[in-house]
Chains A and B, each alone.
Chain A
Amino acid sequence: MRERGRSLLVPVLAVVVLVVVPAFLPRFWLDLGALSFATAVGAVGLTVLFGRLGQLSLGHSFFVAVGAYAYIGLSSPAGVPGTVGLGLSPLLAAVCACLVAGLASLCFSPVSGRVKGLYLGIATLPLVFLGNHVALVWQSLTGGFSGRDVPALAVGGTTLVGPNTEFVVGGGLTITPDQILWYFTGAVLTIVVLVTTVILRGRTGRAFAAVRASEIHAQALGIPIAAMRSIGFAYAGLLAGLAGVLLALVDQRVVPDFWGLSLSLSFLVMIILGGVGSLPGAVVGAAIVTVVPPVLQQYGGSLPGISDPTTAASTAQYLYGALVIAILLVEPGGAVGLWSRLRRALARRRGFGDAAPVPVQSAPAAATPREVARTLGPTVRP
């Protein structure tokens, strides 16, 4: 992100994938794509919080749930007995749901502003368990154990995102609901990545990096540490809420079991696989974690022991766990770190070794993922 002269290959490729590819993809892959984009929004939030600010959260899935249920509660038709519904227009409800999640995480600032690093990880555990309890008990909002249907996203009576939408573009070209979901989630993810990049490059991002690198140093610079930690946590919560709205829209029905501790751990796995602190890394990590289990299940039938959903899921889990350990040992930069290592190796082979840019380590805001992983959080090195 920091090398100005870097080739445009990656962004261009990303746009092509986002816009053109859905026309050729079967439903299975379209759904997985939308799911990955939705998840990636949440992963971006966590990677900012953990990678850039050095604050760990295991309560991420709680705020994802808050977003999802806020959307359901706000947009469901009003007046249905036994259910919570305000009957807001879905688009307004979606925006409000993100704000609700953001506010909820801001309310946590007595903890998120004062507890640092790993401790915040444990300090956020209660959110997951208490949240899960509320989701099971508050049946009028969540539908209890068996879950509740998610209203489709509609504007002015026209369903934009949801089942049974089909747009005829003309020239015999129609856009299926799955393609719309892909475009919608993809567009939201793109906006989120762009906005987050701007924030991280600006004053706030540099303040985050300063707080992560050295509390005392940051304090000397006049950076309000607790406020920065609260803001970072709230931003992560906001994005988690947005991810919750998107996930609810993609899944069309949500059950309390989905928002457990395992979802929080999955988010953590995603950002580590991709490369801690890196936004493209978070997107790649989210795609890996989302796509691998269904693909194993779909195409792994010939492999031993991967025929039903449960074993496919647990095989994927073993894989992730092992990968996290291996990545931290070998390449803390994750997928992004491997990619830049590969590029450097290729450049060297082509004989451009001298011309290869020397990494400049002066600007803390633009640390490499590997460096971020090294100095994560308030670690005092012996």
Chain B
Amino acid sequence: MSDLATILIDGVSIGSVYALLALGIVLVFMVSGVLNFAQPATIALGAFGVAALHQVGVPFGFAVLTAAAVAGAVNAALDVLLVQRFQRRGEVLAASIMTVGLSVVLLTAFQARIGAQILPVGDPFGSSVTRVDGITIAHARIAAVTVALLLLGGLYLLIRRTTFGLHLRAAADDREAARLVGVHSGRISMVVWAASGLLAVIGGTLLAAYPSAGVSSGAADIAMRALPAALIGGLASTSGAVVGGLLVGLTEATFLQYQSSLQFLGTGFATVAPYAVMLVIIVLRPRGLLGSQEVHRA
């Protein structure tokens, strides 16, 4: 029983962070049709930015805001200067491949800066934990799930209840038709790219908080799980991103919990288990769990 509770608590708390990261990819894909392969690199670099600011004594909240603002601005500039240029020429696929090049640059920058260091992000929760019925809950994880839920809820309201959200859904549905009825699709795509940069920084920071030791060179690999999370749920579905993120988190937590009895799979299988789950899901449902016709619009 306590095993199950641990798995649920760990899985849901880390899974909600993956959901945020996946959402950054899904939103961009919905609105601009571009699969942003550079999102994991942005996540890693964003967390590094927060940690680096912490190193020089910047308070945590301010560090996160600064890094998020920078990432958002850079992403918005990317969209306006590069992605939309590709779009005007009808080369959406080239834009996606362009993000692979971008990812190479960002990952190199990250690896060159981080080296062999492990930098704490300096969140106020430290390594404090609460014990309930023999189950250990890290405060940083409680904070992570709270922040993730607030952001997810906020995004839901933004997309479903505001004029901007209506425009966003219109642009995601049919860009040209949306333009014809006066939706400024360029501005929407810029805002969405900026938001995905912001989500990357916040998510990356939450990933690097306790029980993780901090930002290390492995952060890029962990951030890479945003891609399976996005694909498991279905690339063009926001609720799919949440489902995918939770599934990745729960898988990871399950394999971590039963690691000792799963030795035959090799040490450290928990880190690659989400990919195994993803493989199974893709074989069964190539378009993801919640993906439907939507995916065709690529």
**Distance of A379 Cα from B89 Cα, bound (Å):** 12
Cβ contacts A24-47/B at 8 Å (1 or 0 each): 000000000000000000000000
Which A124-148 residues have a C-beta within 8 angstroms of B?
125-126, 129-130, 132-134, 136-138
Stretch at the interface among A111-119, A195-203, A239-247, A352-360: A111-119
Q: Does A79 contact B (CB under 8 A)?
A: no
Could you tell me if B297 and A322 are in contact, using CB atoms closer than 8 angstroms? no
Q: Does A329 contact B (CB under 8 A)?
A: yes
Closest A residue, CB atoms, query B279: A126
Tell me whether A382 and B105 are in contact in the complex, defined as CB-CB below 8 angstroms, given that A123-B282, A129-B272 are known contacts.
Answer: no
Chain B residues contacting A137 (CB-CB under 8 Å) are 265-267
Which B102-116 residues have a C-beta within 8 angstroms of A?
102-109, 111-112
Cβ contacts A338-382/B at 8 Å (1 or 0 each): 000000000000000000000000000000000001101111111
Cβ contacts A252-271/B at 8 Å (1 or 0 each): 00000000011001001100
Interface residues of B, dominant DSSP: helix
Q: Does A224 contact B (CB under 8 A)?
A: no
Chain B residues contacting A382 (CB-CB under 8 Å) are 90, 175-176
Could you tell me if B112 and A314 are in contact, using CB atoms closer than 8 angstroms? yes
| CB < 8 Å neighbour of A269 from B104, B228, B295 | B104
Could you tell me if B101 and A269 are in contact, using CB atoms closer than 8 angstroms? yes
Closest A residue, CB atoms, query B29: A118
Chain B residues contacting A317 (CB-CB under 8 Å) are 104-105, 107-108
Closest B residue, CB atoms, query A326: B101
**Distance of A238 Cα from B101 Cα, bound (Å):** 26
Could you tell me if A376 and B298 are in contact, using CB atoms closer than 8 angstroms? no
Chain A residues contacting B181 (CB-CB under 8 Å) are none
**Distance of A262 Cα from B110 Cα, bound (Å):** 14
Could you tell me if A374 and B298 are in contact, using CB atoms closer than 8 angstroms? no
Chain B residues contacting A324 (CB-CB under 8 Å) are 97-98, 100-101, 104
* 11 A–B pairs (Cβ distance < 8 Å), ordered by A: A119-B235, A122-B227, A122-B228, A122-B231, A125-B278, A129-B224, A269-B104, A324-B101, A329-B82, A332-B91, A379-B90
Of all A-B residue pairs in the complex, the 3 with the closest CB atoms, nearest first, are: A324-B101, A137-B266, A321-B105
Interface residues of B (CB under 8 A from A): 35, 37, 82, 85-86, 90-98, 100-109, 111-112, 175-176, 221, 224, 227-228, 230-231, 235, 265-269, 271-272, 275-276, 278-279, 282-283, 286-287, 295, 297-298
